[in-house]
Amino acid sequence: MNKTSTSIRNVVAIGIGTAIYVILARFTSIPTGIPNTNIEIVYPFLVLLATIYGPKVGFSVGFIGHTLSDFLMYGQTWWSWVLATASLGLLVGAYGRYFLDLKNGIFNTKQIITFNIVQIITNVISWLIIAPVGDILIYSEPANKVFLQGISATIVNSISTLILGTILLKAYAGTKIKKGSLKKEY
């Protein structure tokens, strides 16, 4: 595929991806019973989109999607958490670009394991480092509050990506035709 057509596809993927992100963020959080802790399907979705379309799309959808959905739901946005979501998309996207091949229908057990190790590491980087540190620097909120929020976000998002993300990626790979799956009949 040549350069301009990939860049157009990236633009459209950012646009549609962001729209899906906003709708999922608005309507599909599943309350776990613990206050203020919801299972968010948006993060597994962001991970799926980033692994398909790469780090640029992952970063942009995380950034624009989180900003828009915050504005639409709360009328304001927390830039530190926006940045955390965007870096989640960026890092998982970079990993997907080099180590995964979902478009050819390949997602084997070894890839499932490495994918989950990578997503847990990136969740830790995003929610336990970027988001709380940003909250302290930009909004000067008390450190123990933001780190507690960070820890609960890390745990919930890692687990929901582990379960829902793996299911989504596997399902997506299943819809694609494997390379070399057609054999010539003699």
Q: Where do contacts with another protein occur on this chain (CB under 8 A)? A: 4-5, 7-9, 11-20, 22-24, 26-28, 30, 32-33, 36, 39, 41, 45, 48-49, 52, 60, 64-65, 68, 71-76, 79, 138-145, 148, 163-164, 167-168, 171-172, 175
| CB-nearer residue toward another protein: 7 or 114 | 7
| CB-nearer residue toward another protein: 74 or 98 | 74
| CB-nearer residue toward another protein: 5 or 108 | 5
In the complex, the smallest distance separating the C-beta of residue 158 from another protein, rounded to whole angstroms, is: 15
In the complex, the smallest distance separating the C-beta of residue 30 from another protein, rounded to whole angstroms, is: 5
| CB-nearer residue toward another protein: 26 or 179 | 26
| DSSP character string of the chain | --HHHHHHHHHHHHHHHHHHHHHHHHH-PEE-SSTT-EE-SHHHHHHHHHHHH-HHHHHHHHHHHHHHHHHHHHSS--HHHHHHHHHHHHHHHHHHHHH-BGGGTB--HHHHHHHHHHHHHHHIIIIIIIHHHHHHHHH---HHHHHHHHHHHHHHHHHHIIIIIHHHHHHHHHHSPPTT------
In the complex, the smallest distance separating the C-beta of residue 183 from another protein, rounded to whole angstroms, is: 27
